[in-house]
Amino acid sequence: MSGLEMIKGRVFKLGDNVDTDLIIPGRYLNDPDPEVMAAHCLEDAIENLPGRIQKGDILAAGKNFGCGSSREHAPVAIAAVGFSCVVAKDYARIFYRSSFNLGLPILEAPELADEVREGDVLSVSLDSGKIRNETTGKDYGFRPFPAFMRELLEAGGLIPYTLGKGGKGGRV
């Protein structure tokens, strides 16, 4: 996976049941521009996120991340603001699949989600399924992605993947 094998970034941490309306409030869904979504991503949960995040940082959360409405805007906003991946205990299924379809790595690591702290630095190997908390020195695992999901991530999501396989961009 070119460019996706290793991710390293600081953690921004949230709790359980973070819904898609908290990720990107509905009042901003009329403008499909990812930059607009990035400016408002998690604005009611993390003060001044666009001014604080560094490209590649990691979002960590508890259980049921991405619950609520099935808007694809949520993973778009998370990636557009600069997060390289999300690590949580578990995810709402539609959010999970939408994230892969849009090229955002989503990792299930329940123990890490409980133990990681805001500001910790994580190194994530998407190839080996390992996460190292560089701040504490502790290692964690997550289930590596099946080959077809890795291909989606490598391509940047479902549409680029389909186009790369000779698709014409019509129905997917």
CA distance 126 to 138: 17
Predicted confidence (pLDDT) at residue 1 exceeds the cutoff of 50: no
β-strand partners of 59: 12, 86
Q: What is the CA radius of gyration of the chain?
A: 15
CATH of domain 6-164: 3.20.19.10
Predicted confidence (pLDDT) at residue 109 exceeds the cutoff of 70: yes
- pLDDT tens, residue by residue, 118-165: 999 999 999 889 999 999 999 999 988 888 888 889 999 999 999 987
What local confidence, expressed as pLDDT, does residue 70 receive?
A: 80
Q: What are phi and psi of 132, to 5 degrees?
A: -115, 125
Q: Is the distance from CB of 100 to CB of 126 less than 8 angstroms?
A: no
What local confidence, expressed as pLDDT, does residue 166 receive?
A: 63
Structure tokens of 147? 């080959």
Q: Is the distance from CB of 42 to CB of 70 less than 8 angstroms?
A: no
Q: How confident is the model at residue 88 (pLDDT cuts 50, 70, 90)?
A: very high
Predicted confidence (pLDDT) at residue 79 exceeds the cutoff of 90: yes
What local confidence, expressed as pLDDT, does residue 4 receive?
A: 60
**Cα atoms found within 13 Å of the Cα of residue 23, Cβ hemisphere only:** 30
What local confidence, expressed as pLDDT, does residue 49 receive?
A: 95
Predicted confidence (pLDDT) at residue 5 exceeds the cutoff of 50: yes
Q: What average pLDDT does range 103-122 have in this prediction?
A: 96
Predicted confidence (pLDDT) at residue 2 exceeds the cutoff of 80: no
| H-helix or E-strand spanning residue 6 | strand 6-13
| H-helix or E-strand spanning residue 107 | strand 106-108
Predicted confidence (pLDDT) at residue 171 exceeds the cutoff of 50: no
Predicted confidence (pLDDT) at residue 18 exceeds the cutoff of 70: yes
CA distance 101 to 156: 8
CA distance 87 to 80: 17
